[in-house]
Homo-oligomer: A and B are copies of this chain.
Amino acid sequence: MPTNPAWVKALKPSGPQGSELLEQERSKSKLNIDQLADFLFTKQELDKRARILKILQADPVFDKSQNYFRGRTERMEAALARGKRLRQLSEKHGWDEREYHIANELLSEPGPYGLHAGMFLKTLKEQGTPEQHKLFLEKAERYEYIGCYAQTELGHGSNVRGLETTATWNAEDKTFTIHSPHLTASKWWIGSLGKTANHAAVMAQLIINGKSYGPHPFVVQIRDLKTHKTLENIHVGDIGPKFGYNTMDNGFLLFNKVKIPHVNMLARFSGVDPKTSKYVRPANPSLIYGTLTYIRSTIVLQAGATLARGVTIATRYCAVRRQFQDRDAPPSEPGENQVLNYKMVQIRLLPLLAATFALHFTGRGMIALYEENQKRMASQRPSDESSRAPGPEETSPGPDLLADLHATSCALKSYSSTVAAEGLEVCRRAMGGHGYSSFAGVGSWYADYLPTVTWEGDNYMLTQQVSRYLLKSARAVLKGNVQDNDTHRILSIYLKRQDMGAAFDVLGEDAEIVDAFAWRVAHLTFEALRHRDEDKKSWNSLLVDFYRLSKAHAQYMVVKNFHDALFKEEATKKELDSDTIELLKKLYRLFALNTLEQEASEFFSSQATTIRQITLARTKAVMTLLDEIRPHAVRLVDAWKFPDWLLDSSLGRYDGKVYEDMFHRASELNPMNSITFDPDPNSKVLFRQDDRQDLRSKL
């Protein structure tokens, strides 16, 4: 590695130093960071994090210093090596699932074991019989079998029923033939499949006697356990580089009439009777449905933390970075202004800072609701109707609370992951030119997060399910079938009051902001219902309205959850001092009023607010909140407690030494600076003269 000459080593950034500026920031606010952090994550969790961080930092396999420089193959190799070491450490220290998860979060890159641990084990556990647990799960838990979950195909994503891979039952020898009839049947995007997995849980169309019974899961071995080479009549590999996620070996997989024994069809819920060759109907599969709801709820919680990482980096750097003087500054303050003092920067970053807390409390609320519901369900046997994953406008599954929870989780998944992804890019741009450097630590994080807007239900597709549910609820409420859930409640209130109109004091009463958001949802719901049921508009022509409706619903839920966490929950009052609570309430107002202003036209046209209120929210309330929150910005991001090692960011360093770190990475860690190029276009050498024989030989 190159080293800096002595005269360069002697240079310091011009003052004031970043470290001084961040110290000043922290001294301007009295916010108790530890108290807030404990409230957000619990002390126990933070202690665990600190303990595991030490272990990882001590191990050279986890050295991050070359991460940003590596190409695809090297990154994959390093990621697999880290996966292995994590697994070894996990055994050595007896980590539980949570601790293993924390270690992965600290490492902060998708790893090639990700889908084995996340989906393969889960699928075996949930869909396998006890016999299959013995046969597959035990080996998989010991990582002798390493697997993936092979559902998506080259030609089929969201529409699972359209999958082309077939599993044909052979009555004569009690086997299934797994086959890929077309190129588009190739499994595609399957995490951990490209280079790592030796087994796959394959979703394939079950065919018995020429009749198709829809997609079912089958366990298929694809690579040799010793040589790691592909088995016969299987074609498997890595699908190539992606916009992000390049430490994961997403793979493709094709079968040429591969036979597997009867026991390889995961048969807990449905199967084929080997004696009669009859299909055995699914028993209690609404659990799967619940699982998706749970996954989406965790995405909401995670969206807050994902965004917080970008906000932490940008807030710290914008407190260190100084550009221009304030135009109205007195001559007594001649220095350049911290970028964070500019309103144009504040209006981009501080509402996102507020959003991190809003999403955190909403995610927590959703998971609590989910767990409550699981308990309820355990005592009720759900109806068979709830068996399939629901299509856009299917009848709603199971008990009503589940349906409500499902719809809300869809709306929130779509909204929160969009907010997080787009917010990260806002953070990156708020940092000016340096935001574009890999060392900023935001670009790669954004790129790795982006699939979340597409997977677990595409963010546009999902909104149809939300609207379907809201329309159904509106029909019920109109008929007088009002049930005991929040959706029915807000629709009923709207129906009762719509003629007299709303008059919400959104600028004076915190609770009435929630009411205004609810009103807008109800208004849009009945409007959409009129289009669908009275005007008989086509479903397709309403998709844009449905998207807006779902977004409105999600924003209502976030505002409501944030409000309730601060105003209604006893825990908040017990664990936080009143100054902290007051500050969080300001963040609540900022998030809510800024959202209201951004969606102004829907609040006008639904008459949830007046134009005057919106104007006041924008020009007065939001501007005042920015002023009030500004001094606490750095401490507020500190409360997220991201270790520097996790952030891996020059610009987001806790100590503010951003320029020293940028320079060190560029100058001393950058392998490009050990190479000399020949720039002369007239020289005979096109490539550089040392060891690139491989490239030159092609010419």
Residues of B contacting A83 with CB < 8 Å? Answer: 681
- Within 413-460 of A, Cβ neighbours of B (below 8 Å) are at 425, 428-429, 432-433, 435-439, 443-444, 447, 450-451, 453-455, 458-460
Contact A241 B155 (CB under 8 A): no
Specify which of B13, B164, B672 is in contact with A194 (CB 8 Å cutoff). Answer: B672
A2 within 8 A of B: yes
Residues of B contacting A194 with CB < 8 Å? Answer: 672
Contact B344 A543 (CB under 8 A): yes
Whose C-beta in chain B lies nearest to the C-beta of A8? Answer: B235
Whose C-beta in chain B lies nearest to the C-beta of A699? Answer: B60
A265 within 8 A of B: no
Instruction: Give bound CA distance, A81 to B683, whole Å.
Output: 11
Q: A61-B686, A181-B14, A237-B670 are in contact. Are A341 and B676 (CB under 8 A)?
A: no
Instruction: Give bound CA distance, A73 to B21, whole Å.
Output: 36
Residues of B contacting A245 with CB < 8 Å? Answer: 436
Contact A666 B5 (CB under 8 A): no
Shortest Cβ distance from residue A661 to the other chain B in the assembled complex, whole angstroms: 11
Specify which of B540, B541, B600 is in contact with A601 (CB 8 Å cutoff). Answer: B600
Shortest Cβ distance from residue A648 to the other chain B in the assembled complex, whole angstroms: 13
Residues of B contacting A184 with CB < 8 Å? Answer: 13-14, 659
- Within 521-576 of A, Cβ neighbours of B (below 8 Å) are at 538-544, 546-547
Shortest Cβ distance from residue A580 to the other chain B in the assembled complex, whole angstroms: 27
Copy total for this chain: 2
Q: Mark A79-97, 1 if CB is under 8 A from B, else 0.
A: 0110111011000000000
Residues of B contacting A208 with CB < 8 Å? Answer: none
Whose C-beta in chain B lies nearest to the C-beta of A75? Answer: B71
Whose C-beta in chain B lies nearest to the C-beta of A68? Answer: B241
A679 within 8 A of B: yes
Binds B, one of A47-55, A248-256, A373-381, A484-492: A248-256
Instruction: Give bound CA distance, A541 to B622, whole Å.
Output: 11
A214 within 8 A of B: no
- Within 315-359 of A, Cβ neighbours of B (below 8 Å) are at 323-324, 326-328, 336, 341-344, 347
Contact A679 B228 (CB under 8 A): yes
Contact B687 A77 (CB under 8 A): yes
Instruction: Give bound CA distance, A83 to B131, whole Å.
Output: 63
A517 within 8 A of B: no
A408 within 8 A of B: no
Instruction: Give bound CA distance, A183 to B451, whole Å.
Output: 38
Contact B623 A615 (CB under 8 A): no
- Within 145-189 of A, Cβ neighbours of B (below 8 Å) are at 146, 152, 154-159, 162, 164, 180-186, 188-189
Shortest Cβ distance from residue A628 to the other chain B in the assembled complex, whole angstroms: 14
Residues of B contacting A660 with CB < 8 Å? Answer: 183
Instruction: Give bound CA distance, A454 to B433, whole Å.
Output: 6
Contact A540 B327 (CB under 8 A): yes
Specify which of B180, B196, B670 is in contact with A238 (CB 8 Å cutoff). Answer: B670
Whose C-beta in chain B lies nearest to the C-beta of A694? Answer: B74
Instruction: Give bound CA distance, A327 to B542, whole Å.
Output: 12
Instruction: Give bound CA distance, A576 to B157, whole Å.
Output: 41
Instruction: Give bound CA distance, A568 to B447, whole Å.
Output: 44
Contact B672 A240 (CB under 8 A): yes
Residues of B contacting A678 with CB < 8 Å? Answer: 228
Residues of B contacting A44 with CB < 8 Å? Answer: none
Contact B240 A665 (CB under 8 A): yes
Instruction: Give bound CA distance, A227 to B683, whole Å.
Output: 12
Most B Cβ at <10 Å: residue of A72, A249, A433: A433
Q: A77-B695, A672-B76 are in contact. Are A540 and B659 (CB under 8 A)?
A: no
Contact B675 A73 (CB under 8 A): yes
Contact B155 A13 (CB under 8 A): yes
Contact B547 A344 (CB under 8 A): yes
Contact A238 B672 (CB under 8 A): yes
A213 within 8 A of B: no
Residues of B contacting A242 with CB < 8 Å? Answer: 436-438, 443
Residues of B contacting A155 with CB < 8 Å? Answer: 13-14, 659
A118 within 8 A of B: no
Residues of B contacting A540 with CB < 8 Å? Answer: 326-328, 341-343
Q: A81-B686, A343-B544, A670-B240 are in contact. Are A228 and B676 (CB under 8 A)?
A: yes
Shortest Cβ distance from residue A4 to the other chain B in the assembled complex, whole angstroms: 7
Contact B393 A327 (CB under 8 A): yes
Contact B5 A72 (CB under 8 A): no
A608 within 8 A of B: no
Instruction: Give bound CA distance, A492 to B8, whole Å.
Output: 59
Shortest Cβ distance from residue A274 to the other chain B in the assembled complex, whole angstroms: 29
Q: A240-B666, A347-B544, A601-B601 are in contact. Are A143 and B680 (CB under 8 A)?
A: yes
Q: A12-B183, A237-B670 are in contact. Are A676 and B229 (CB under 8 A)?
A: yes
Shortest Cβ distance from residue A594 to the other chain B in the assembled complex, whole angstroms: 11
Specify which of B68, B84, B342 is in contact with A240 (CB 8 Å cutoff). Answer: B68
Residues of B contacting A450 with CB < 8 Å? Answer: 436
A197 within 8 A of B: yes
A383 within 8 A of B: no
Most B Cβ at <10 Å: residue of A189, A195, A239, A435: A239
Instruction: Give bound CA distance, A61 to B326, whole Å.
Output: 51
Shortest Cβ distance from residue A88 to the other chain B in the assembled complex, whole angstroms: 6
Residues of B contacting A662 with CB < 8 Å? Answer: 154
Shortest Cβ distance from residue A337 to the other chain B in the assembled complex, whole angstroms: 9
Specify which of B112, B229, B615, B672 is in contact with A605 (CB 8 Å cutoff). Answer: B615
A396 within 8 A of B: no
A388 within 8 A of B: no
Residues of B contacting A460 with CB < 8 Å? Answer: 344
A282 within 8 A of B: no
A41 within 8 A of B: no
Q: Mark A221-261, 1 if CB is under 8 A from B, else 0.
A: 00000011100010101111111110001001010100000
5 further A-B pairs in the complex, CB-CB below 8 A; given A158-B323, A162-B323: A113-B681, A143-B680, A146-B679, A157-B432, A252-B667
Top-7 shortest CB links A-B: A71-B71, A600-B601, A243-B443, A81-B686, A87-B681, A344-B543, A327-B539
Q: Show 7 residue pairs from A and B whose CB-CB distance is below 8 angstroms, ordered by the A residue.
A: A14-B181, A14-B182, A73-B671, A80-B679, A81-B686, A186-B663, A604-B604
